[in-house]
Structure 1
Amino acid sequence: MPLRVTFVAAARSSSLLAERFEDDRQLDQAGWDEVQRAAGGLLPLAAADLRYCSPTPRSRATGDALGYAPLVQLALRDCDMGRWRGLTLGEAMAREPEAVDAWLADPRATPHGGESLLGFISRVGGWLDTRPADDGGRIVAVAEPSVIRAALVYALKAPPTTYWNIDVRPLSTTTVTGRGGRWNLRLDGIAPQPSRT
């Protein structure tokens, strides 16, 4: 039986603050409210055979608030951004414009002294590929949007630059099915109901 891994994007830590590299802020009240509003649709995922999360405070808090009691997976941590950790993209660009340009253009570049985009995608993909079949058929993983983007690039065997073209909203779900080395994206939208006229 193929595995079904559903990623749940962590709730925001604040809608008012810019997104920061390796953001480790806790959920604020707006984030908690967001989780409560989305809980009805996400609670059924607690029935998964295994429940995991990124090590960030907001991923753990999101998983706990949804009743998943997730196990932290270090391989699902955000990309190591070296000396840019805690900065926004704009702040990094203001300090080191050539380095940011190089990083955005080359998935192997590490001008910040941390992890390359290609290394990040490979690490997250390696975690995905090492989910043994006897782990159970259904897995849920609460993770940062960046981790989910990396998993999708890996699963689809897309070029690393595709990472920049994927938008993952807080508390959205994304499912991949398959097993190590062979993954498919599964879109679980609600089918439109025929009109009764």
Structure 2
Amino acid sequence: MHLRVTFVAAARSSSLLAERFEDDRPLDQAGWYEVQRVAGGLVPLAAAELRYCSPTPRSRATGNALGYAPLVQPALRDCDMGRWRGFTLGEAMAREPSAVDAWISDPRSAPHGGESLLSFISRVGGWLDTRPVDDGGRVVAVAEPSVMRAALVYALNVQPSAYWNIDVPPLSTLTLAGRGGHWNLRLETAPAA
């Protein structure tokens, strides 16, 4: 039996330029508006047998606003950014430019004292691989965009550097189908209007 895991990117809590590492801010007004605007297309995912979310306030709020009543999954937390937690990329670059360069160029590097990109991808992949196929065929998980990028890199078994080339807009979806260690990207057709 195969499992279908659909990730939904959490709604925004700030503008893209103000995004912070391990951002714990709740949804802002724009985020709430976005959820209401697209809810019709995402609410049907609540029919999934299992519903999860990242532990961030915006992931929980997004899942609840969509009627998922998701269970928080610590393994779906954002990458541990150590001393850069709460910084924007620009702030980290201004304080430690060579450390940021090392972190971006070497997936095993963790100059911030937190988790390396490779460890983060492996953690998210481990969560995917341990989803019990017999507990249900469909899973929905509201997560931070970074978690979705990590899941995609893991599932497609591509170089970790591909992580930096994936854009995940708020409230976008990603569906992976398969089972532990064998995942495929599943592109969905848009429902007829």
Query: TM-score normalized by structure 1?
Result: 0.95
> For the Cα contact (< 8 Å) 1:39–1:66, is it kept in 2?
yes
Which whole-Å deviations, capped at 9, do the CAs of 1:67-102 have from their partners, x for residues lacking one? 000000000000000000000111000000110010
Structure 2 unaligned regions, length at least 5: none
Partner of 1:3: 3
Provide the secondary structure at the position in 2 that maps to 1:26: coil
Structure 1 unaligned regions, length at least 5: none
Provide the secondary structure at the position in 1 that maps to 2:113: coil
Partner of 2:121: 121
Partner of 1:56: 56
Measured after TM superposition, the shift of residue 28 of structure 1 is 1.3
Which whole-Å deviations, capped at 9, do the CAs of 1:136-169 have from their partners, x for residues lacking one? 0000000000000000000000100000000001
1:16-165 pair list within 5 angstroms: 18-165=18-165
Higher alpha-carbon Rg: 1
Provide the secondary structure at the position in 1 that maps to 2:114: coil
Q: Aligned partners of 1:38 and 1:86: how far apart in 2? A: 28
Provide the secondary structure at the position in 2 that maps to 1:33: helix
Measured after TM superposition, the shift of residue 191 of structure 1 is 8.3
Aligned length: 193
1:170 paired with 2:170, answer: yes
Measured after TM superposition, the shift of residue 21 of structure 1 is 0.4
Name the amino acid aligned to 1:81: M
Provide the secondary structure at the position in 1 that maps to 2:4: strand
Query: TM-score normalized by structure 2?
Result: 0.97
Q: Aligned partners of 1:16 and 1:148: how far apart in 2? A: 16
**How much identity, in percent, do the aligned residues show?**
82
> For the Cα contact (< 8 Å) 1:15–1:30, is it kept in 2?
no
Name the amino acid aligned to 2:107: P
